[in-house]
Amino acid sequence: MNPVAQPLVQPRFVAPSMVSDSLQVEGLSKHFKGTDKAVFRDVSFSINEGQSVALIGANGAGKSTLLRCCVRLIEPDSGKVSLSGEDLSGKSGRALKKARNRVGFVFQKHCLVPRLSALTNVLHGNLAHCSGPRNWAQSLARQEDRQRAMDCLEQVGLADFAYQRCDQLSGGQSQRVAIARALMQEPSILFADEPTASLDPQSGELVMELFARLSRSRNLTVFFVSHHVEHALHYADRILGLRSSELQLDSPSHSESTASLREFYA
Amino acid sequence: MPEPSQIHPASPLLRGRFQRPSWLRSGLFALFLGFFLWSLAGAGMSLQSLIQGLPNMGTIVGEMFPPATDRAQPIFEAILVTFQMALVGTGIGVILSVPMALLAARNTSPHPLVRYVTRSIISFVRTVPDLAWALFFVVSVGLGPFAGTLTIIVDTIGFCGRFFAEAFEEVDPGPSEALDSIGSRPLDRIAVVQIPCALPSMINTGLFSLEKAVRSSVVLGLVGAGGIGAELAVSMEMFRYDQAAFIIFSIFILVYLVEHFSSRMRERLLTQIR
């Protein structure tokens, strides 16, 4: 890879009045019990629809916690989060779960059910919208849902592996099945927590290229945490950086360089 | 040639190979040894009785051969009933064990109190021996295979309830958390994550349970809970050791076939894709 990578995704900075916010975070703070230091303090940013944003920071800087606080998988101490204009702050129980059903989540580990086929795992993405045996196994699913699951697998380039058990897939393929499962939700925003951390460099590139392609073709907002400054530069429109419990960087990726971002880890 | 100690000087942190055990440990070990020796007497171990009993054993074994096949038909029928009791009892027991185990497993139980109560019930059911359950059911529902089947159901819940719960607890939490994050319901997560992931272990436990049930249903007949055990008891009491030998041989064939079938099933089911 080039030391100074050029962004693959063309920046889409449009006049603020013309685009709607996909994610808006205001004054978010989190402090874990039993520790002196805040994980992060007073973090505010917003992500436009269709934008691809990378969140970088050293180990333990609180990137994953911030990502999880955005959908209240971890409860923030204070602050406000809105998803597509819908305030999540006051919601609890079922209302919160309903608000989350258009948020796709891809984790560091693929988190698939290993004994089931790729197609069945993708179908599980539909559980975000409707409950019941129809989404438990591909053999019980409605024809249109099976077709949609197959389309999602096609989009990640794994249609040929639909009936393969997930424990027989490679790490990169499994992560792509996890992305297909997130697509099955028809998400408006996709969160990814170090999606390439457990992959070899080549598989990691494939996964990141997939995110970039999906972001472009489906106008999907992508918010990903990464340790690879090259990935942030190459695949994101914009880079956020967490350091010393604060959001110290928020700039378009084309105005940053590998060297300037590496300083961020010092 | 340099001395080994010159190459690797002994680290002050390296302890000696053997260490003197503490006084407490030595005392406890001596106490255990004393109790074991006392227990030998308590268990009625007597070499003299064993030697005196040897001719009797020889006589009985002698009378067992050749095994008598005159009552082959009723014996085969009883063997079939024994197997049917084991199969139905295990089947129903396994089905009832699944909800019990879900309530008892840490990661699927709705509340710690529910978990505690269910665990206690499963422990109680397991601790009471199957013969005691058989006596209880014989008195409650009368002599016959139904009492035996009820015994096997209860025994299977005690066995499978515990192991299914452990299998659910060992499931990787990742997939379940991933589906929780998108707003899925707990019942869906149980159906698509917990049960498929725990299935190999559940099949294993279920088949072991069937083997266990076949062996125990043989004994249940001794207290009148149906099956081949009653035939065996009658033959022994009437000193028809040749008939008893035939029954024991039939039991051996049944148990062998069930164990053989269960291990073949295990291999096939575990490699199947769902």
Structure tokens, A5: 């990578």
User: pLDDT confidence of B116, banded at 50, 70, 90?
Assistant: very high
The answer to the question of residue A165 being in a domain is no
Q: Look at chain A and report how many structural domains it folds into.
A: 1
Nearest chain B Cα distance for residue A101, angstroms? 5
* Domain CATH code at residue A85: 3.40.50.300
pLDDT in tens, B190-241: 999 999 999 989 998 999 999 899 888 888 888 887 788 888 888 888 888 8
The answer to the question of residue A258 being in a domain is yes
Reply yes or no on whether the pLDDT at B76 is more than 70.
yes
The answer to the question of residue A1 being in a domain is no
Measured between CA atoms, the residue of chain A closest to residue B191 is A136
What integer best gives the mean pLDDT of chain B? Answer: 88
3-state SS, residue A30: strand
Residue B271 contacts A where some CB pair is shorter than 8 Å = no
Q: What is the pLDDT of residue B94?
A: 96
Residue B272 contacts A where some CB pair is shorter than 8 Å = no
Instruction: Name the residue among B241, B256, B87 with its Cα closest to residue B232.
Output: B241
Chain A segment 98-117 residues within 8 A of B by beta carbon are 98-101, 103-105, 107, 109, 111-117
Rounded CA-CA distance B39/B33 in Å is 10
Reply yes or no on whether the pLDDT at B271 is more than 80.
no
Chain A segment 68-87 residues within 8 A of B by beta carbon are 71, 73
Low-confidence ranges of chain A (pLDDT < 70): 1-20, 266
CATH class of B63-270: mainly alpha
Instruction: Name the residue among A28, A13, A19 with its Cα closest to residue A82.
Output: A28
Structure tokens, B205: 């436990």
pLDDT in tens, B2-28: 555 566 677 778 877 888 888 999 999
CB within 8 Å: B174 and A133: no
Q: What is the pLDDT of residue A16?
A: 42
pLDDT in tens, B139-186: 999 888 899 999 999 999 999 999 999 999 999 999 998 888 888 888
Prediction pTM value: 0.79
Each domain of chain B, given as residue ranges in start order, spans 63-270
Q: What is the pLDDT of residue A11?
A: 43
Rounded CA-CA distance A133/A135 in Å is 5
This complex has an ipTM of: 0.80
List the strands of the sheet with A221-225, edge to edge: A103-106, A189-193, A221-225, A52-56, A238-243, A246-252
What domain range is A61 assigned to? 27-101+228-266
Structure tokens, B243: 């008939």
The answer to the question of residue A44 being in a domain is yes
Structure tokens, A79: 């602050």
Rounded CA-CA distance B200/B171 in Å is 11
Structure tokens, A59: 């180990």
Structure tokens, B128: 């009471």
Reply yes or no on whether the pLDDT at B273 is more than 50.
no
Rounded CA-CA distance A189/A152 in Å is 16
Number of neighbouring beta carbons within 10 Å of residue A21: 17
Nearest chain B Cα distance for residue A119, angstroms? 11
Alpha helices in chain B, H assignment, sequence order: 4-7, 23-42, 47-64, 72-104, 112-127, 130-141, 145-169, 173-181, 186-189, 195-220, 228-237, 241-270
Q: What is the pLDDT of residue B14?
A: 81
